[in-house]
Structure 1
Amino acid sequence: MDWVGGTESMVAGAAVSFVFFAALAVALRRRLGWVTAAASCGFFWWLTVIALVTLVPLAGIDLAVPAESRSETCSLDYGGPAPDGFWILSGGQRLLNTALFVPAGALLVVAAARWRIGWVAAPLGLIWLGLYSLAIELLQLELARIDRACDVTDLVDNVTGALLGFSVGLILTALLRPWRRR
């Protein structure tokens, strides 16, 4: 399984999963309306992208934490030893962690707004996104082979991104009105 890892695997996984979720959105379009179908499938696609970016081994990337030097516990040092970041965003790893969860928060709100129960489902989904981030951090702690580290700063940044996305989703919902079929 040494052939899996690095940005190539992340991009390939994102592309394959995009094709799947785009086809699913097209299939659901008549039943849910195009806005809700696209937002719902986009939300689950983005959760897949988050998993790929955070759990695929970092072969050949500067952010790798070798298994031999990894901590046995999750780092509680807020703002701790986060590396400078990824080539995608120059603002550092913290900005990347925050930006990674913004689309999930926005798509969650737009997808939930179609139904009356959405005012309950969306906040519960936001809590679920926080738990998803926690699960990722715990997996990074347990799976030494993927060269990742568990860090409370990542969790805070991810939840901050989900909250920002939630706010963006409220604005998008007012503009797109997913409860109306078009």
Structure 2
Amino acid sequence: MVTIGGTAVMVLGALAAGVVAVLLGLAVRRRLGTASAVAVPGLLWSLVAIALVTLVPTRSDVGIVPADARSESCSWDYGGPSGAAFEVLGLDQRTLNVLLFVPAGMFLVLAVGRWWSGVVLAPLGLAALAAYSLAIELTQLQLARLDRACDVTDMVDNVVGAGIGFVIGLVLLPVVRPWRGRRAAH
């Protein structure tokens, strides 16, 4: 049986997605301007990276998780024991979940900030990031092969991370001024 998983697969996938994002940014830079040519591919890259980190099994030796061994529901134990069980670079799972969504929130604001409709699109995008987190947790619940757990704490941490990124994007918006590229494109 061929198994795929582990941090090496996640990192290689994120790097490959990063290369594609850079190429996309270079392709649209003249049309959108530099700020948007970084923000739009950056948002797409962050969504792919989130999917890789959350949906690729953490170990390549997981094998098949029997259907009767998988969880039947999401954990509603907020801040439960899983947060301390996983660490990377000295950061616990809760901190990593927050950090994982920060770039998506930031790039979202910068990507839609070039248009006046961004005033509506940015909050809708933040809601979409929350829905993305929910979809990931539900996928983890349904696909026992992933050997992942659906957890309300993860959803809250993900939304907090997206919110922090959103605020960072708002702070950067007047500095980056993505609307400048619009005039150069016409």
Q: TM-score when scaled to structure 1?
A: 0.92
Does residue 53 of structure 2 align to residue 38 of structure 1?
Answer: no
Q: Residue 22 of structure 1: SS of its match in structure 2? A: helix
| Paired amino acid for 1:143 | L
Task: Give the share of equivalent positions with the same residue, in percent.
Answer: 54
Could you tell me which residue of structure 2 aligns to residue 92 of structure 1? 92
Distance in 1 (CA, whole Å) between partners of 2:5 and 2:105 is 27
Could you tell me which residue of structure 1 aligns to residue 155 of structure 2? 155
Indicate the structure (1 or 2) with the bigger Cα radius of gyration: 2
Q: Deviations over 1:18-56 (max 9, x none)?
A: 111110110000111110111000000010000000000
Distance in 2 (CA, whole Å) between partners of 1:73 and 1:3 is 25
Within-5 A mapping of 1:45-60? 45-59=45-59
| Paired amino acid for 1:67 | V
Misfit runs of 4+, over 2 Å = 66-70, 83-86
Q: Deviations over 1:83-126 (max 9, x none)?
A: 422323x2311000011001100000011101110110000000
| Paired amino acid for 2:13 | G
Could you tell me which residue of structure 2 aligns to residue 77 of structure 1? 77
Long gaps (5+) in structure 1:
none
Distance in 1 (CA, whole Å) between partners of 2:116 and 2:30 is 19
Size of the alignment, in residue pairs? Answer: 178
Q: Deviations over 1:33-80 (max 9, x none)?
A: 11011100000001000000000011169xx8x935542100011111
Could you tell me which residue of structure 1 aligns to residue 129 of structure 2? 129
Does residue 144 of structure 2 align to residue 144 of structure 1?
Answer: yes
Could you tell me which residue of structure 1 aligns to residue 4 of structure 2? 4
Q: Residue 76 of structure 1: SS of its match in structure 2? A: coil
Contact persistence 2:134–2:155 (CA under 8 A): yes
Q: Residue 50 of structure 1: SS of its match in structure 2? A: helix
Long gaps (5+) in structure 2:
none
Could you tell me which residue of structure 1 aligns to residue 170 of structure 2? 170
TM-superposed CA distance for 1:4, in Å, is 1.3
Give the superposed CA RMSD: 1.8
TM-superposed CA distance for 1:2, in Å, is 2.9
